[in-house]
Structure 1
Amino acid sequence: MKWTGERLVTHVDAHFAYEHLHRYYIAMQFANGKKVLDAACGEGYGSALLAKNADSVTGIDLSDKAIDHANEKYGDYKTNFVRADVYSLPFPEGEFDLIVCFETIEHVNSPNRAIEELKRVLSPNGLLIISTPDRDSKHHLVSKAHNPFHLKELNQEEFQHLINQNFINSDFLYQKTITASLITSGESIGELKEYSGWFDGYAEVCPKNNSQYMIGFCSDSSLPSVLSNSILSYEPIHKSLIKRVMLKIRNLFR
């Protein structure tokens, strides 16, 4: 599939690929033995990841081109892709045990209507994992980047209100990409401290108040108790970037 900026494709070597992959890696933990819906699946890589653990995965997207590509590349006996609108899903009530909906509700005019429809096809004990960019993120404001495909972005307060008015139980994680040095005890990481600084000193930063994306875990049943801090290392992309930059520098002096 051609890269347009609307949907991630696997041949794009960029930091935001790791943002998407990290979310799917977390969702895979909850897909074991489940019937899963990947809402706004794009080219299908995330559905294929979920299918490694799930009993079955259905990916939906508005784009015929994306669905055709996904079925050709990833479709198999447990993974299928259909064209569908998140406002009007072609499935009966309570059809899915797990619904994953990443970076989607900012693409529609009525996020609440989309969530109501997702909840309709979620089983009574099911789990919805949903993410969206934080409109008030300082990273977003500093870059002043405008995504023409985003119709309605939310901040943390609005996102939490949206989730809580539709579900009895909810919990939230906060995500951003960083270049960092990691120091651990060798045991599992509990609370994760974040520092920002240089030679003249540092400040301790609250990760929640310094995130780019918000991830909601929503259910009318009890929530899983395994939500925790996690890190996805993207050393390969840094090495690839450095290699390309060094090659350009060498070419300047030839």
Structure 2
Amino acid sequence: MGQPMWHLEAAHQWDSFAEGWNSSSQEMWEQGSRKSIVPFMKRYIPKGKAILDVACGDGYGSWKLAQEGYIVTGTDISQKMIELARKRSEKRNIQFIKADMVQLPFTDQTFDAIMVINGLEWTEKPFQALHELKRVLKKDGFLCAAILGPTAHPRKHSYKRLYGKQTIMNTMMPWEFQQLAIENGWKLIGEEGVMKRGVNSEMLAQLPNELKQALSFMWLFMLQK
């Protein structure tokens, strides 16, 4: 089965984004919006486990997981991203493979855990991607998924749909992803928000979860198969 046109266009666009992404990925993972992701993963997944980093981009997040003692395989739909990722690290416990998350080149129940950060939004049918992630995950394995908050800047990629133009980004809300996952057999065992700049803990203290999600740049979910 070949790639659908949506995913071919996604690969093309991420090839074009690769150099710019690479120039800012370290800051994102070390000081920015992604700095809490690896600590979040470590709460649930013991060192030494095999982790699949789906939509790994230039591999900085994969590299950080490998530094923490995990055995990491990174995949991305963009060939240029994979080339950048391979340049970043030559560690024994990390490898990078070009692959679409709806057609992963792995046998059933290969990985102990999966990480996918703002990648499911770029699939044409996220429920199919979730099924494929479940296929390659071991029984009782963990999925860490991050979904963009309502006002996150990358949502600009889907704006032109309002003009009736074709886009290649599914701008699902965090609560929509949570419902999709639960309806498809995943168990929610943990979650955490990455808040927009200007939002502090005092503002959030009395808010219900759905309003916290509304103020987030990104929402982290830990799901179990």
TM-score normalised to structure 1 length: 0.67
Q: Is the helix fraction higher in 1 or 2?
A: 2
Please state how far the C-alpha of 1:96 moved relative to its aligned partner: 0.5
RMSD of equivalent CA atoms: 3.1
Cα distance 1:31–1:46, how it changes in 2: closer, same or farther (>3 A)?
farther
For residues 125-145 of structure 1, the C-alpha deviation after alignment (integer angstroms, 9 at most, x for no partner) is 2100001113xx2x34xx796
TM-score normalised to structure 2 length: 0.75
Tell me which amino acid in the other structure corresponds to 1:211.
S
Structure 2 equivalent of residue 194 of structure 1: 203
Cα distance 1:214–1:106, how it changes in 2: closer, same or farther (>3 A)?
same
Which runs of no fewer than 5 residues in structure 1 stay unpaired? 182-191, 196-202, 221-254
Please state how far the C-alpha of 1:36 moved relative to its aligned partner: 0.6
Please state how far the C-alpha of 1:111 moved relative to its aligned partner: 0.5
CA distance in 2, matches of 1:168, 1:152: 20
Give 1:220-239 correspondences, 5 Å limit.
220=225
Structure 1, 47-56 or 17-26: larger mean CA deviation = 17-26
User: 2:58–2:81: 8 Å Cα contact kept in structure 1?
Assistant: yes
- Bigger Cα Rg: 1
SS across alignment from 1:217: strand
Structure 1, 64-73 or 121-130: larger mean CA deviation = 64-73
Give 1:106-145 correspondences, 5 Å limit.
106-134=121-149, 137=150, 139-140=151-152
Please state how far the C-alpha of 1:84 moved relative to its aligned partner: 0.7
Q: Does 1:8 align with 2:21?
A: yes
SS across alignment from 2:62: helix
Q: Does 1:175 align with 2:184?
A: no
Structure 2 equivalent of residue 147 of structure 1: 157
Structure 2 equivalent of residue 48 of structure 1: 63
User: 2:18–2:80: 8 Å Cα contact kept in structure 1?
Assistant: no
Q: Which runs of 4+ in 1 moved over 3 A?
A: 5-8, 10-17, 203-206
Tell me which amino acid in the other structure corresponds to 1:176.
M
User: 1:3–1:12: 8 Å Cα contact kept in structure 2?
Assistant: no
User: 2:51–2:73: 8 Å Cα contact kept in structure 1?
Assistant: yes
Which among 157, 164, 175 is matched to residue 175 of structure 2?
Answer: 157
Which runs of no fewer than 5 residues in structure 2 stay unpaired? 1-13, 159-166
Cα distance 1:164–1:100, how it changes in 2: closer, same or farther (>3 A)?
same
Structure 2 equivalent of residue 238 of structure 1: none
Tell me which amino acid in the other structure corresponds to 1:80.
Q
CA distance in 2, matches of 1:213, 1:58: 23
Structure 1 equivalent of residue 8 of structure 2: none
CA distance in 2, matches of 1:41, 1:156: 20
Cα distance 1:144–1:117, how it changes in 2: closer, same or farther (>3 A)?
closer
Structure 2 equivalent of residue 252 of structure 1: none
- Report the identity percentage: 25
Cα distance 1:123–1:145, how it changes in 2: closer, same or farther (>3 A)?
closer
SS across alignment from 2:96: strand
